[in-house]
Amino acid sequence: MTIQNLLFELFVEELPPKALQKLGAAFGNVLSQSLKTQGLAAADAAVTEFASPRRLAVHVTHVLEQAPDKAVSQKLMPVAIGLDASGQATPALLKKLQALGADASAVASLKRAMDGKAEALFFENTVRGVTLAEGLQKALDEAIAKLPIPKVMSYQLERDCALPGWTSVSFVRPAHCLLALHGASVVPVHALGLTAGNTTQGHRFEAAVSPVTIAHADDYDTTLQRDGAVLASFSARKAEIARQLQAAAQKVGAQAIDDDDLLNEVTGLVERPNVLVCEFEKQFLDVPQECLILTMKANQKYFSLLDAAGKLMNQFLVVSNISPADPSEVIGGNERVVRPRLADAKFFYDQDRKKTLESRVEGLSKVVYHNKLGSQGERMKRVCEIARAIGQQLGGDVLAEKAELAARLAKTDLLTDMVGEFPELQGIMGNYYAKNDGLGDEIATAISDHYCPRFAGDWLPTNMVGVSVALADKLETLVGMFGIGNLPTGDKDPFALRRHALGVNRMLIEKDLALDIDSLLGAVLKIISENLQKQIFEGGLPAIMAGDSLKNIEENNVLEGVISFIYDRLSGSLREQGFSAQEVDAVLDLRPQRLGEILPRLNAVRAFSTLPESPALAAANKRIGNILKKAGEVDADVNPALLQEDAEKNLYAVMQKLLPTSEAQFNSGDYTASLQTLAALRAPVDAFFNDVMVNAEDMKVRLNRQGLLKSLHVAMNRVADLARLAS
């Protein structure tokens, strides 16, 4: 049986560049997996995917010309239904066999075996393995059907005079040829109105020959490079572009901006990359560099260059798809194209600076935020009040006033021409315009930082004004959206509530802010409710809408919902950081109010878990919790005179010695020492449960022993719920 490597290529018109990598991976994965499932390729067959702007291809090693035959056993029906009392086949059995291509002669060879509680008949036969042509056709149909195409286009095939009318085909882009080789042999498959051959097309302008003939499946990549001037591998093309970018940047004493998204997109645009250095007039460097970088990236797919100090240079890199002997025309053309883009950015920047941010505040009232929560202007008032309250608690009157001012101006750059053109610059442009207005670095930085962290791993606000505004902005969104019942569902989270919750957690933890989470959220909820009532009174929000919002807030347990949501996000984040589920649950079950305490508590629990006494004390803690739960309300009071057994007297004495020390360590924030001090309780606790009956007949003795356990339980669970560590 012939075994050769297989190469398949689908040649099309230019594919969507941002989706190219995903399309190539999906096409290769589905096609190769189908071949493996059908027995045409081994499970460990090497699969190489190719994706260029005009082709999707896959190379699979060690593919059979025909899959091996295989024995199959198919359950037919229970014996009681398939055979009559005399052992003859029933009509039902004969009909089933006929459907499988067999007749009555197969009855004698049917296998009988138990299937559950009843005996059943099984038909055993050998199924012919599929040929490569059959299997590849099926794999190709599956790969095309499952391609993750966001939007297909319909086009008509060239008219066949033998057929009436036109044939329409739907695909991501019009397809022009198929290439399918098993070794050197063409595999006759069909798709999208095309029949496979051994030729393809190379570069539109620089191919040495057209069409390009591929002699063998293993020659695909090298032949395309040599004869077609095409680097077919997405990963190899991306690496080559990155190499050329670095070399070109070093040549002019600069560094190219590291932008993997742009690199992927450009890799999806070119088949033969050639990096060239271009430049623009230095006068444009007066515009904030973020604006210039973004306009060159978004509109022209150019790579900006930075000097050693991280400042934008008036040179940039373009990845061309052609390699002329004299690149001056290509360079000049790109320089002419970028000039009006940069001029637009300069015009927007100059025009925006003619108005102060303060003058734009009133305009926020005309920007819709949510029909149940009012405009951006009304939201801004709520954020201002929340930011002022946070600032007051963190830094007194001075910080409160600065936080309120920054919150008042934080969203005003949404009304500028620059942000209207490039929404990605919101906050960044607010920073520049605030400095232009003479507001100082602290307020300006807070305006840009109040969006932080924008994503996982992003930096936090750099000053306390920014922290106050960022917390206020995110908490207003969380509580407001929970208040009107606008919650995330599945993978849908239009108001980014999950990201806001993670941002709140990070600021409270990493900045170690002296804010209690319950009190903080309660204050936010109160401010939102009072402001909604004020909006109704002043007519700023339709009474019906505001009334519905208030009703939802009053009837739903909004505070508990938001708190649970925040702790859930925190739990997932901590597990991603390497803490075990037991450790996280042990700490978060107590719902610490200062989130800055959580990491020290987790580290203390981890250290405690390594002690030899840990398992026994965790199990004892769980046992104590169950006893107290059954006992109901128990006071942590102990009368030494009612202690009867030596074991309980000894436990009480050890507790009197250790618990004050552990409590002092806890109050000083030394959670690790607090838990380790309790490790000495293991022996007296074990002796207590071995020698003492808690539920004594004498009620006074029973309550006293329960009080002893209650005191112990409180002490053991200050840092974390140690019962969670019990296996």
All structural domains of the chain, each given as residue ranges with its CATH number in brackets, are 3-67+131-228 (3.30.70), 70-127 (no CATH), 237-352 (no CATH), 375-578 (1.10.3210), 600-725 (1.10.730)
The better pLDDT of the pair 280, 484 is held by 280
Which pLDDT score is estimated for 118? 84
CA atoms within 13 A on the CB side of 310: 2
pLDDT in tens, 426-448: 999 999 999 999 999 999 999 99
Which pLDDT score is estimated for 77? 84
CA distance 514 to 395: 10
Instruction: Tally the residues of the chain.
Output: 727
Residue 351 has pLDDT above 80, yes or no: yes
CB 418 within 8 A of CB 291: yes
Record the tokens describing residue 532, joined without a space: 């909604």
Q: How confident is the model at residue 540 (pLDDT cuts 50, 70, 90)?
A: low
Residue 634 has pLDDT above 90, yes or no: no
pLDDT in tens, 698-717: 899 999 999 999 999 999 99
Least confident of 394-403, 426-435, 633-642: 633-642
Which pLDDT score is estimated for 629? 87
**E strand spans, 138-254:** 153-156, 168-171, 175-182, 185-186, 190-191, 194-197, 199-200, 212-213
pLDDT in tens, 460-482: 999 999 999 999 999 999 999 99
Q: Which amino acid is at 639?
A: N
Which pLDDT score is estimated for 54? 96
Pure H helices in 268-426: 289-295, 328-352, 376-409, 417-421
Which pLDDT score is estimated for 490? 82
Surface-to-core class of residue 398, CB atoms within 10 Å of its CB (0-12 exposed, 13-18 middle, 19+ buried): exposed
Surface-to-core class of residue 344, CB atoms within 10 Å of its CB (0-12 exposed, 13-18 middle, 19+ buried): middle
Q: How far is CA 214 from CA 8, 9, 94, 191, 223, in A?
A: 11, 11, 52, 19, 7
The better pLDDT of the pair 546, 530 is held by 530
Record the tokens describing residue 489, joined without a space: 């569902």
Residue 539 has pLDDT above 70, yes or no: no
CA torsion sign for 562, 567, 570, 576 is: negative
Least confident of 1-10, 296-305, 410-419, 546-555: 546-555
Residue 535 has pLDDT above 90, yes or no: no
Which pLDDT score is estimated for 111? 85
Mean of per-residue pLDDT scores for the chain: 91
CA distance 514 to 108: 84
Which pLDDT score is estimated for 550? 63
Which pLDDT score is estimated for 161? 46
* Backbone dihedral region for residue 539 (phi beyond 0: left; psi -120 to 50: alpha; all else: beta): left
Q: Which helix (H) or strand (E) holds 524?
A: helix 517-538
CA distance 160 to 537: 73
Phi, psi of 645 (to 5 degrees): -85, 150
The better pLDDT of the pair 206, 169 is held by 206
Give the residue-averaged pLDDT of 202-226: 95
What's the first-to-final CA gap in the chain, in angstroms? 56
Output the pTM of the full model.
Answer: 0.81
DSSP state of 68: P
Residue 165 has pLDDT above 70, yes or no: no
Give the residue-averaged pLDDT of 563-576: 95
Residue whose C-alpha is closest to residue 455's, from 496, 512, 509 = 496
CB 67 within 8 A of CB 8: no
Which pLDDT score is estimated for 456? 84
pLDDT in tens, 252-270: 999 999 999 999 999 999 9
CA distance 129 to 117: 34
CB atoms within 10 A of CB 449: 23
Q: Which helix (H) or strand (E) holds 554?
A: helix 543-555
Question: What percentage of the chain has pLDDT greater than the value 70?
Answer: 96
CA distance 654 to 666: 18
